[in-house]
Every structure is written in structure tokens, then in C-alpha cells.
Amino acid sequence: MSQSTPSNDRVSHTRGEPRRNWTRAEADALYNLPFADLMFEAQSVHRANFDPNHVETASLLSIKTGGCPEDCGYCSQSAHYDTDVKATKLMDSKVVIETARRARDAGASRFCMAAAWRNPKDKDLDRVCEMVSAVKDLGLETCATLGMLTPQQAERLHDAGLDFYNHNVDTSPEFYGNIITTRTLQDRIDTLAHAREAGLKVCCGGIIGMGEQVEDRLGMLMLLANMPAHPESVPINMWNEVKGVPVNKTADRPDPIALVRMIAVARIMMPKSVVRLSAGRQYMTDELQALCFVAGANSIFIGDVLLTTKNPQTDRDTDLLHRLGIKSQLDVARTPAQSVQAAE
């Protein structure tokens, strides 16, 4: 009788200490496993490292929107494209803190502050550090994404109480030049190194559905999994449709099963990382999200808006997680679920 499940050797190996020497052949072999075998292996790894019935809930706020000088071909906030997103100044600290308080009360355990900069100026960083400290005092984990950092800026953010720094690699090294020309992949890797050296945890992932091939998605996962230390958080974003950006010409939303396969491979290759089912969930059915959770995704953003694009409403997330028997901070929210996006 043939054996239909993955070998015990492979499962036990992937449940051990994280590896940082994954090969293309191994990544391809994992991705191309029969679907049931891949899900079994990913769920086995997930259960060995996490509570399989818990999902982390985070909230994301754009504290400075639009006018970014980078030419990222997917981004509504790039000054290179006509996307109808108006550039704003850095948000008032009181508004940010109140938004973070509402996010906490709506069920968020982590609050991420995003600014559309190539790199922050020191005078702007002063204000961001004040925000970080105040949000930390609310009992929330803190995360920021501000563009490229110098070592000194990373240290300042750490000293202010920042827990995580988000800086995505976006895609594979081979496909990167098709999407961005104003910032190199090495620039991104250098910023991640500065964050690490300052004692910050790293949130780093990418975007799928921009016209890349499966090999590019696996190449991105290999890039992350073969770093000196795996990112503590790995957001997998499905590209959100945005008016006026070049990616519109190449975008191709992934087949649902292909997305689940990618989540599963990410879980196996980075067994101790939190894998976030991030942007694009409004395009996903409840059934697809459920499969992603089984494959090892264990974090979501809550709230109606992610930066400038839509996100499933919090009450839909609460209902879905309840039906799946998955616990989250939404279960102990101090006030009824509500939008956490600050009013203009």
C-alpha cells in the first residue's frame, strides 16, 4: 500500500530549529506536494510551534500619507503616479494615540504606524518616537514602517519602545527590478540589518499578484528564509487594485489554491515566524481564509482600511474566527468592534 503522507523524516526535520539554507529544489518540492500532503506538513509544523487555534490581531494606521518619492509600481502613495491619493503632513500625535486606544479597545494587540517616506528626517523621527512611546504605554505592541533607516535612527526607535520594524522585500531578487527602480533590494536588506542590530524585531514579507511567476514567490520566501535570522513576522500581501499605477498592466490575482500553497511553504520554511494574511483579504472568501489559517497563517490586520485600501470589517473577522473556533484578542475587546481608522 503506498504511503500518501509526507515522510516522517521530512516532518520531524521541519519541526526542528529554523533552517537558513533552503535550496530552490527543496522549495519547489514543497510547493508541488499533493495538496493534502502539503497541508498536513504545514499544519504539523504550525502545531509544533504555535497554538493552531489562535490568530494575532494587529491594526495599521497611515500617520503620513502620499507624496513618497519612491516609484514602487504597486503603490497608491507614490508621487510618480496619479492615484487620487492626496499627500498629507505627519499626523498629530494626539490623533495617533487616540486611534491606537480605539484599536486596542476594538481588539488589536499590535499597532503599526506607517509613513510614506523614502527615509525619515530626524525632526520627523522625534515626533514618531513620541508616538511610539505613548502607544507602548497603552499596553500595545508597537510597529513602524518609515522607509530606510540609518543605524542611529533604528537605535532611537528601539529606545523609544518600538518592538517591530516593518520593511518588506516585496518580491524575488529576480523580479524586483520590474517593480521598483528608486530603491535597491540591497537598500532594503541594509535597513533590516540596522533594525536587527538595534535590537528591533523584524516584520518583512512581500506582495503577490503583481505579474510575478510562482518561481518569484518562492524566490521571495527563500530570500526571507535564508536570512541570518528569520523575520519574526512575515506579511503576505495580495496586491490591492489601485488606480493609476503601473502594476495594473501586469497584475494577475493568484489562484486561491496557489495562495494557500504559498502560505504553507512559508510556514514550513520559517516555522517560528508569525505569518500574516495581510492586504487583499477583502478579495478572499471565508473558505479561502480558513484554508490559509490551516496552512499556517496566524495573524491578520483588523479595521476597515489598510493605509489607503479596503480591509474586511472587524465584525466580519469576529464572526469568521468565531465560526472557526479560533481565539484572538477580538474575544476580549473592551468595546464593540469598530473602525480603527482615524477620521481626517
Give the active site residues: 68, 72, 75, 112, 143, 203, 276
With helix as H, strand as E and coil as C, how does 43-62 read?
HHHHHHHCCCCECEEEEEEE
Crossing angle of helices 256-269/24-31, nearest 10°? 130
Name the helix (H) or strand (E) containing 299: strand 299-301
Residues 71, 77, 83: CA angle, nearest 5 degrees: 95
Q: What is the Cα–Cα distance from 114 to 301, expressed in whole angstroms?
A: 13
271: region left, alpha or beta (phi > 0 left; psi from -120 to 50 alpha): alpha
Which residue is it, cell 518540492? 29
Nearest Cα to Cα of residue 119 among 182, 213, 74:
182
Is residue 144 within 8 Å of residue 165, measured between CB atoms?
A: yes
- φ and ψ at 143, to 5 degrees? -140, 150
Q: Is the dihedral of CA 74, 76, 79, 82 positive or negative?
A: positive
Question: Looking at residue 296, what DSSP letter applies?
Answer: T
Residue 163: partners with Cβ closer than 8 Å, 6 or more residues away: 110, 136, 141, 142, 143, 200, 201
Distance CA 338, CA 106 (A): 6
**Using an 8 Å Cβ cutoff, are 185 and 172 in contact?**
no
How far apart, in whole angstroms, are the C-alpha atoms of residue 312 and residue 343? 18
**What span, in angstroms and rounded, lies between the C-alpha atoms of 208 and 216?**
9
